[in-house]
Chains A and B, each alone.
Chain A
Amino acid sequence: MAEVRVEEIRKSFGGNRPVLDGVSFTVADGEFVSLLGPSGCGKTTLLRVIAGLEHADSGRLSIGAREVSRVEPKDRDVAFVFQNYALYPHLSVAENVAMGLTLRGTPAAEVARRTADAAKRLGLEGLLERRPAALSGGQRQRVALARALVREPQVFLLDEPLSNLDAVLRERTRGELKLLFKKAKGTVVYVTHDQVEAMTMSDRVVLMNEGKLQQVGAPEEIYRRPASVYVATFLGAPPMNVIPAAQARACGLFGAVPDGTLAGVRPEEVKVGSGRPASVVLVEPVGSHTVLTLDADGAALRAVVPGSWAGGSTCKVEVPPASVHRFDAATGLRLP
């Protein structure tokens, strides 16, 4: 295993806007890092640059102690799990898994041992002779994972590996994946647009937008202390309430809010039941909790209350001072 160091990577496909605009971060040895962002933010391109499937226009990329910008994909010692699995359709599951080992001249006995071991870890024992076409989506996904694991590479690169699974299977596989890579002590770079995956699985999250890093940090940290309005409103469901200064002052919930700043509060930290009056505009029951959309003297505010809502069309609302986030209105950056 090894650390991955990404320094000032730039990449453009010829459009007006670069796909990657000077991205830098480091993934520590054995760390699980998610690249999170909306579609088109450059996260998959960045992963492909790390794999060597795309060349960066400029910047440095190191895996372990080695600078690999000019190294062929096969010599970077990375394994890639593709979004659509990219199995070899004309080969059996066993041949799919063993391909990378056989080509590297691994002795046949060891290939057999490691293939069997990977198959066992992923529950593929009965399927080794099948072709990919005879497998379900979940099974194909596990073959793709086995193909990566069996190589015991320096770095695992995963491109939205769960996005083609149905909701139930995705939920279950998420936990399995986390355990699997923890046991393998792998350095993992994991691309996803799903914030729940990023938050639950990663040691750290790299949040990207429009080819730039927005924030890098532990899931808890970027949730608790978002570095910008973008991060604050990207994470969380429903996202953070961000209120302009004038409205924030008018509703009186946020204390002193100077001009040129924004006030924010997470819906789950808005206290409903005491404080100032507000009208309930919309009630969205989710089951375990209910999302209320409130109007507090012109400030639109969403709040999460436990269970179902029986409070009628008005309520009292309060925002604890410790829960208020402040941002610069011009730059969108967090104010200390």
Chain B
Amino acid sequence: MRPTPLGRVFFGLAVAFVTAWSLAPFLWQVVTSLKPAAEVAAVPVRYWPSTLDFGSYAQIFKARPFATYMWNSLLVGLGTTALTTGLAAAAAYAFSRLGLPGGRWALLAILGLSLFPGTILIVPLKQLATRAGLLNSLTGLVIAYTALNLPFAIWVLKSFFDRLPKDVEEAAWLDGLSRWQTLWRIVLPLSAPAVATTAILVFIFSWNEFLIAQTLVSRDAARTVPVGIAMLSGVTVYEVPWGQIAAAVVVTTLPVVVMVLAFQRRIVEGLTAGAVKG
């Protein structure tokens, strides 16, 4: 069905509205981060800075260990993504192809576990981490995040594997590949869109996670970015350094935006085209 001209106008307006709605807070942060200190909280509100001032950016990196926070976040993010994707791919392939007895129930149990709100887990997680000696450690965060993300990752990958043509795998076995080799050399390359989507979402979760990071880590050198931002404080108790917070938010958001843009083509690309007669 071809859209009517009126429909097209309405569609355009709707897209513009949603885009503006989503982007507005972030744009406000960008503008705030570039204002000179005096204009940040000026009354009446200044919508546009009189001069572009990068002072806030300089301060978060010079006066604060913001580079350390980012490095920590990056390590935790990459670790969580690699561990989650690897474990989830193996589990999802087993659920999808091996016809395990009780596999359906196991999958439902996994889904059920992921329904518990994260806040309930805070106290037990802290106790577990304390006993395991994983307080104030990035490894502790990676393990906790992986556990939280596995259910979602397994479900996404399993539903994708279910749709892959089985013939290609059978051809691979006859060619001499083992189950593991089939997963690694055939199934995962064909699942690149699903793997990339899962990896990005897991990475974003880990990059943005605040509650667990705040609970398990109290040592400044092991803090991740969200906690680092929350800990930014002014010279006095009554001063909130909005300019620096805005600068920190911008710096933190950029890597994620770049990553999503980089993987976008992969996500959209239908790699399975040509596997079987189409």
A100 near B274 with CB under 8 A, answer no
A100 near B175 with CB under 8 A, answer yes
A71 at the binding interface (Cβ < 8 Å): no
B176 near A103 with CB under 8 A, answer yes
B113 vs chain A, min Cβ distance (A): 32
A285 at the binding interface (Cβ < 8 Å): no
Q: How far apart sit A88 and B168, CA to CA, in the bound complex (Å)?
A: 6
* Number of B positions contacting A (CB below 8 A): 22
B65 at the binding interface (Cβ < 8 Å): no
Name which of A74-82, A222-230, A250-258, A323-331 contacts chain B.
Answer: A74-82
Q: How far apart sit A88 and B173, CA to CA, in the bound complex (Å)?
A: 12
Q: How far apart sit A133 and B167, CA to CA, in the bound complex (Å)?
A: 16
B186 at the binding interface (Cβ < 8 Å): yes
A40 at the binding interface (Cβ < 8 Å): no
A133 near B170 with CB under 8 A, answer no
A332 at the binding interface (Cβ < 8 Å): no
Q: How far apart sit A89 and B175, CA to CA, in the bound complex (Å)?
A: 15
A86 near B274 with CB under 8 A, answer no
B189 near A84 with CB under 8 A, answer no
Which interface class (under 10, 10 to 19, 20 to 34, 35 or more) fits A?
Answer: 20 to 34
Chain A residues closer than 8 Å to B37, beta-carbon distance? none
A164 near B173 with CB under 8 A, answer no
B170 near A103 with CB under 8 A, answer no
B174 near A78 with CB under 8 A, answer yes
Q: How far apart sit A73 and B171, CA to CA, in the bound complex (Å)?
A: 10
Instruction: Give the residue of A72, A89, A104 whose beta carbon is less than 8 angstroms from that of B271.
Output: A89
B237 at the binding interface (Cβ < 8 Å): no
B22 vs chain A, min Cβ distance (A): 35
A87 near B275 with CB under 8 A, answer yes
Task: List the B residue with the shortest CB-CB distance to A84.
Answer: B276
Instruction: Give the residue of A53, A72, A89 whose beta carbon is less than 8 angstroms from that of B275.
Output: A89
B120 at the binding interface (Cβ < 8 Å): no
B277 near A51 with CB under 8 A, answer no
A85 near B277 with CB under 8 A, answer yes
B190 at the binding interface (Cβ < 8 Å): yes
Interface string of B235-278 (1 = CB under 8 A from A): 00000000000000000000000000000000000011111110
Interface string of B183-194 (1 = CB under 8 A from A): 000100110000
Interface string of B137-164 (1 = CB under 8 A from A): 0000000000000000000000000000
B136 vs chain A, min Cβ distance (A): 43
Contact A86 B165, CB 8 Å, known A80-B170, A140-B277? yes
Task: List the B residue with the shortest CB-CB distance to A51.
Answer: B174
Q: How far apart sit A85 and B276, CA to CA, in the bound complex (Å)?
A: 6
Residues of B within 8 A of A (CB): 165, 167-168, 170-177, 181, 186, 189-190, 271-277
- Known contacts A72-B173, A74-B174, A80-B171, then 14 further A-B pairs from the complex at CB < 8 Å, ordered by chain A residue: A53-B170, A80-B170, A82-B171, A84-B167, A88-B275, A89-B273, A89-B274, A89-B275, A90-B190, A99-B172, A100-B174, A103-B176, A103-B181, A164-B277
